Amino acid sequence: MLESSKNSPMLNGPIEFDFTVEIERSASEVFPLVDLSDPRFSQVALGNTVKKLDEKSFELEIAEMEGHAFRFRVVEYAKDERHASKVTIEPAIGNLVEAVEDYQITPLGDDRCALTLVTKATFSDDLSVEEIVQEVAMMSMAVEEDLTKLKMHAEEGVEAVKAYNEEQEAAFGIELDLEGFDIDWDDIEPEQ
């Protein structure tokens, strides 16, 4: 995955992130939360806007990320089983070029299921090792956080997710501005 040559990129293809969570709800109750075409889609319930561009394309506008458009092109769809989309963000955030988000639901009985999110993220091909590590860490946290919130939404309702978001924001005492997020790795020294 990582190559070392001055004339070739460090990254060779997308990096895959794979997380699974068990949810105490049926697959048919969870699927609408990940289905962009469903009015019960989790982001709509949180107050964000989804516009249908054509039969398989959607645009998500997230209130906290004003000025960014999240464009989704559905590449695989099986009701109550799978929803996969190719995602681009305009303007880009960080070094992410595009991602494929693949939600897979496996029934574990009549009233519970496993929700797996496999994300294949493609980053700029001119990143340093430190930048790759930073991007991988941020994407890992984002994918895991997405599943945590979906589980919470399915089991406890959207108000629980809103409360969680407020708690997270208060705990950090800041609002995230992802534009220009950069770490100066030269200022970080390893522990002895």
Helix axes 27-34, 129-156, angle to 10 degrees: 130
Q: Residue-wise over 14-39: b if at least 16 C-beta within 10 A, else e?
A: bbebebebebebbbebbbbbbbbeee
User: For position 169, what pLDDT does the model report?
Assistant: 78
In the chain, which residues have pLDDT < 70?
1-11, 172-192
CA dist list (Å): 25 to 70, 82, 107, 154, 180: 28, 16, 9, 7, 39
List the beta bridge partners of residue 98: 122
pLDDT tens digits, one per residue of 103-125: 999 999 999 999 999 999 999 98
User: For position 7, what pLDDT does the model report?
Assistant: 41
**Start-to-end Cα distance in the chain:** 30
Transcribe 91-108 into DSSP letters. S--TTEEEEEEEEEEEE-
User: For position 107, what pLDDT does the model report?
Assistant: 97
How many CB atoms are closer than 10 A to CB 169?
13
Is pTM beyond 0.75? Reply is: yes
